[in-house]
Amino acid sequence: MNSESKPVVTRFAPSPTGFMHVGSVRTALFAWLFAKKNNGTFILRIEDTDKEREVEGSIEHIIKSLKWLGITWQEGPDIGGPHGPYIQSQRLESYKKYAQILVDKGLAYADPYTKEQLDEFRKKSEESKKPFLYREYRPENPPAWDGTQPLRIKAEVKSHAWTDLVRGELTAGEEAIDDFILIKSDGYPTYNFAHIIDDLEMGVTHILRADEFISSTPKFLSVYDALGIDRPAFATLPPIMGPDGKKKLGKRDGAKDVLDYKNEGVLPEAMMNFLALIGWNPGTEQEVFSQEDLIKTFDISKIQVSGGKFNEEKLKWFNKEYITMLPKETVIAEVKKRLDAKKELSQDMLEKITPIILERIHTFGEISAMIETGEIDYVFAAPEYKTEMLYWKGTVDTDATSRRLQKVIELIETVDENNFKKDIIKDALWNYATEEGKGEVLWPTRVSLSGKDKSPDPFVLAELLGKEETIIRLKRALEKVAHVS
Ligand code: GLU
């Protein structure tokens, strides 16, 4: 085997069985990064030989998900290429050809048994407390293979040793060897056989895949040996664990469709950066990597053996980092898109509310949630609130509250409306607030402007609303208090 000197070819080979969860995407990402890093070729291949598990629309979904992340391929079902087709169900002739080679070599045979006979064999093994191995019942004179019976490999019974670029030297004993099915009676190959033929014909040099395939590797090795072909290099990726690091990622912790994250407003750059660091790290403190950085730094030897944690909080952290790096206009456009659903705001208001919103979110999707909870209702209209809210610490003190609001209005009147900035507004109010009591003055001011017990401070709110609206809302509060007394 000498896969090192050949140009690198990797592939991502999903089965179209539903949505693309983050684990699959991470596999695609690592295989892509490795190809990019080595100026190699990255292939997308669809493994659809299990027709019963197929879910309609999956291929489009896979393509959409990868494209969203920015993962690109040089060969694939949508763009073709020199080794096509790239969908297994369209490659049946290739599998037949190699199956026939094995039949001719005497290394594959038609399975002559009925289901009942097989059940009988299984029962026998059970009774003798031995694991059932098909190879112990190899027929002496198998019928000619006409495609209606399953075709099984006649596996060489021996132990295997192989190198895994992540896990090192691995071995498996004879007990792992059996005569498994290469071609099913429906004419479709099994995964165990098909992927090997595809990798061979497509010139794949490195297979990066999930750890669930490691126990099947002895089977794969039986096929490489029987065909007398070189094995590609194997790299087994670590499992993705839930945030506690104890069990594999479940739906509850975020093993969801990667496009759900898109819909939640996660940026593809953040997702890529986040996924790249699950089970891999360059051994430095660096966390934020652009796509080019990742390609430059990616190194198979730094992939961990043990599981990598999937922590949605960390994804949010990355997303915030990436939002901060976006051009201002892009951010405003994203904010606008969501606020417009409630009410169209002026450009001036949008520019002012954007930094306030950004402080409070990790994804753009959270803006919609903010609107739904009413958290930023004060942006769209003068707030509705109970008069009692205006009293500091709930102490009903109408005279004092009126007096303070009145004073605040007076002080705000002194601020130039063309320079109505939070620092200047603060300067105008600060002395008075310090003398009278900060809570006593700033609390009713803030409630007048936002109608909320939690909101940005009153100076920020005043700048956001502008002088005219600030005074209108303060006067409204004053009237509410007066009305009560
Ligand atoms: N079709 C397999 C899957 O969907 C891919 C395994 C491989 O990469 O060889 O999990």
In the numeric block, which tokens belong to residue 66?
A: 């990868």
Return d(Cα 210, Cα 222) in angstroms, integer.
20
In the numeric block, which tokens belong to residue 243?
A: 């945030």
Mean pLDDT of 213-233: 97
Whose alpha carbon is nearest atom 6 of ligand 1?
13
Answer for the pair 224, 214: CB distance below 8 angstroms, yes or no: no
User: Is 251 part of the annotated catalytic residue set?
Assistant: yes
Band of the pLDDT at 245, cuts 50, 70, 90? confident
Question: Does residue 209's CB lie within 6 angstroms of at least one atom of ligand 1?
Answer: yes
In the numeric block, which tokens belong to residue 96?
A: 């037949």
In the numeric block, which tokens belong to residue 415?
A: 């601020």
pLDDT tens-digit readout, 407-433? 999 999 999 999 999 999 999 999 999
Other C-beta atoms lying within 10 Å of the C-beta of residue 2: 7
Return d(Cα 214, Cα 235) in angstroms, integer.
10
- What are the DSSP calls for 306-333, one per residue? S-EE--HHHHHHHHHHHHHHS-HHHHHH
Return phi, psi of residue 6, to 5°. Answer: -80, 155
Other C-beta atoms lying within 10 Å of the C-beta of residue 75: 20
pLDDT tens-digit readout, 264-308? 999 999 999 999 999 999 999 999 999 999 999 999 999 999 999
pLDDT for 3 equals 47
Instruction: Match 């017990």 to its residue by tokens.
Output: 453
Mean pLDDT of 126-155: 94
Ligand 1 probe mutation, 209, 212, 223, 237, most atoms within 8 A of CB: 209
b/e code 121-159 from CB counts within 10 Å (16+ = b): eeeeeeeeeeeebbeebeeeebeebeeebbbbbbbeeee
Return d(Cα 429, Cα 417) in angstroms, integer.
15
pLDDT tens-digit readout, 444-461? 999 999 999 999 999 999
Q: Which residues pair with 151 in a beta bridge?
A: 110, 183
Is the model's pTM score more than 0.85?
yes
Q: Please check the confidence at residue 16 and state whether its pLDDT lies above 60.
A: yes
Return d(Cα 296, Cα 5) in angstroms, integer.
20
Amino acid at 311: N
Which of 200, 201, 207 shows the shortest CA–CA distance to 237? 207
Question: Does residue 14's CB lie within 6 angstroms of at least one atom of ligand 1?
Answer: yes
pLDDT for 243 equals 85
Q: Catalytic one among 251, 386, 393, 454? A: 251
Closest approach atom of ligand 1 to CA 15 = 4
Return d(Cα 21, Cα 412) in angstroms, integer.
54
Cα–ligand 1 centroid distance for 217 (angstroms): 13
Cα–ligand 1 centroid distance for 81 (angstroms): 20
Sign of the C-alpha dihedral, residues 9, 15, 20, 24?
A: negative
Q: Please check the confidence at residue 144 and state whether its pLDDT lies above 90.
A: yes
Cα–ligand 1 centroid distance for 13 (angstroms): 5
Long-range pairs for 296-301: beta carbons < 8 A, 24 or more residues apart: 296/37, 298/30, 298/33, 298/34, 298/36, 298/37, 299/37, 300/34, 300/165, 300/166, 300/206, 300/208, 300/235, 301/165
Helix ranges (DSSP H) in 298-397: 312-325, 328-339, 347-360, 365-373, 377-380
Residues in the chain: 485
Mapping DSSP to helix (H, G, I), strand (E, B) and coil, where does residue 468 land?
helix
Number of H helices, E strands in the chain: 18, 11
In the numeric block, which tokens belong to residue 304?
A: 């961990």
Residue 354's contacts (CB-CB under 8 Å, 6 or more residues apart) are 328, 331, 332, 335
